[in-house]
Amino acid sequence: MFDLTALEDAARLVHAAMAPTPQIAWPLLAARTGCEAWVKHENHTPIGAYKARNGLVFIDALRRRRPELRGIVTATRGNHGQSLPFAARGTGLAVTVVVPQGNSVEKNAAMRAFGAELVEHGADFDEAYAHARHLSEERGLEMAPAFHPDLMRGAATYALELFRAQPDLDTVYVPIGMGSGICGLIRTRDLLGLRTKIVGVVSTEAPAMALSFAAGRVVTTETARTFADGMACRVPDPEAFAIIRAGADRIVRVTDDEVAAALRAYWTDTHNLAEGAGAAGLAALLQERERMRGKRVGLVLTGGNIDLPVARKVLAEG
């Protein structure tokens, strides 16, 4: 686990490539939720998601460890797969990204635009991940995992910005995919000695981490069918699970309908467009509105990379 010095070093690295993102308390969201809700706008990074930070820190550390390396491979539903080629630009490091069949058209286009070689394989993230491991062995590429201490340290830089700007938040809601975001929040809170409760959010259609949290052991699911693709994981990472189990207050499950309603609320109350996972924190807060009434709450809007046809459909349904 990294210490505060290592986290501050990561923040300097990130801020050399991008500006800190804002945290804003929107009055219409306050009226809707009944509390003072501070939105951490990770949709305002150069890739439209917090994982820009992960890639910058991971690639820098990897190049220091293995300067001779010429190529890496990873699997993703989109934002992780944008972060690595974004961070690797100009380094001579080739990035291969495996995505499942039927993945987001616009995220696929963005990954290619950042310079990745895109491979489509499998029915979901976990099948794509297995194929990425196969390509790693077949092509002699370094496997860039979905969860890693350097990815978590990158994600923790947004937590450092948020907690230093608003150190007296009662609770922060954050979606859970493979875990770098929530684990970075937990570690940063602990390093700063804060008492803020961290609440993870998963989809009812991809509840593996919630099931694991309740059981006290890693539990997998057969499917993860949610339009909030950033939460569509069915095999929790054991290292991430251990951190979440020790440091999260609770995990809230939200339906696709609740996520869609929260996405519309972000648009009407802030005129920010969130992707499904990005709206999940607000969906959970709205579900727990009575419990949180009058408190100071953080919401991590983790990204805004939603395909236009999906956004049009969700907004029109409102």
Same domain assignment for residues 238 and 89 = no
Residue 125 pLDDT: 86
DSSP string spanning 101-159?
A: TT--HHHHHHHHHTTPEEEE-SSSHHHHHHHHHHHHHHHTPEE--SS-HHHHHHHHHHH
The answer on 155 and 68 residing in a single domain is: no
Q: Which CATH number fits the domain that encloses residue 124?
A: 3.40.50.1100
CA 34, 158, 184, 152 dihedral sign is: positive
- In total, how many domains does the chain have? 2
- As a whole number of Å, the end-to-end CA separation of the chain is 43
Rounded CA-CA distance 285/84 in Å is 31
Instruction: Quote the CA–CA distance of 36 and 40 in Å, as a whole number.
Output: 13
User: What is the pLDDT at residue 114?
Assistant: 96
Distance CA 190, CA 196 (A): 9
Q: Are residues 124 and 267 in the same domain?
A: no
Residue 218 tokens read as: 């890693």
Residue 317 pLDDT > 90, yes or no?
no
**Among 123, 143, 163, residue at a domain's last position:** 143
Q: What is the mean pLDDT of residues 153-164?
A: 98
In this prediction, residue 93 carries a pLDDT of: 96
Entry pTM: 0.95
Q: CA-to-CA distance for 65 and 76, rounded, in angstroms?
A: 23
Looking at the fold, whether 304 and 155 belong to one and the same domain comes out as yes
Helix ranges (DSSP H) in the chain: 4-17, 27-33, 51-65, 79-88, 105-113, 125-139, 149-165, 180-192, 208-215, 238-247, 256-270, 276-287, 289-292, 308-317
Q: pLDDT tens for residues 29-53?
A: 999 999 999 999 999 999 999 999 9
pLDDT of 130 > 70? The answer is yes
For residues 36 and 158, state if they share a domain.
Answer: yes
Same domain, 87 and 24: no
Token duo for residue 198? 């961290």
Q: Are 60 and 13 in contact (CB under 8 A)?
A: yes
Please check whether residues 87 and 161 belong to one and the same domain: no
Query: Is 212 found in the same domain as 306?
Result: yes
- 282 and 252 in a common domain: yes
Q: What is the pLDDT of residue 73?
A: 97
Residues 130-157: what's their mean pLDDT?
95
CA-to-CA distance for 264 and 261, rounded, in angstroms? 5
Question: How high is the mean pLDDT of the chain?
Answer: 96
Task: Assess whether 228 and 278 both reside in one domain.
Answer: yes
Tell me the pLDDT tens digit for each residue of 249-286. 999 999 999 999 999 999 999 999 999 999 999 999 99
Tens of pLDDT, residue by residue over 197-242, are 999 999 999 999 999 999 999 999 988 889 998 998 889 999 999 9
Residue range of the domain that includes 73 = 51-143
Please list the residues that pair with 125 across neighbouring strands. none
Checking if the pLDDT of 162 tops 90, the result is yes
pLDDT at position 229 is 87
Is the per-residue pLDDT at 318 higher than 80?
no
pLDDT tens, position by position, 67-114: 999 999 999 988 999 999 999 999 999 999 999 999 989 999 999 999
Does the structure show a pLDDT above 80 at 187? yes
- Domain termination site, one of 143, 174, 196: 143
Q: Which of 91, 112, 143 is where one domain is finished?
A: 143
Whether 126 and 204 map to the same domain: the answer is no
pLDDT at 145: 92
Are 31 and 71 in a shared domain? no
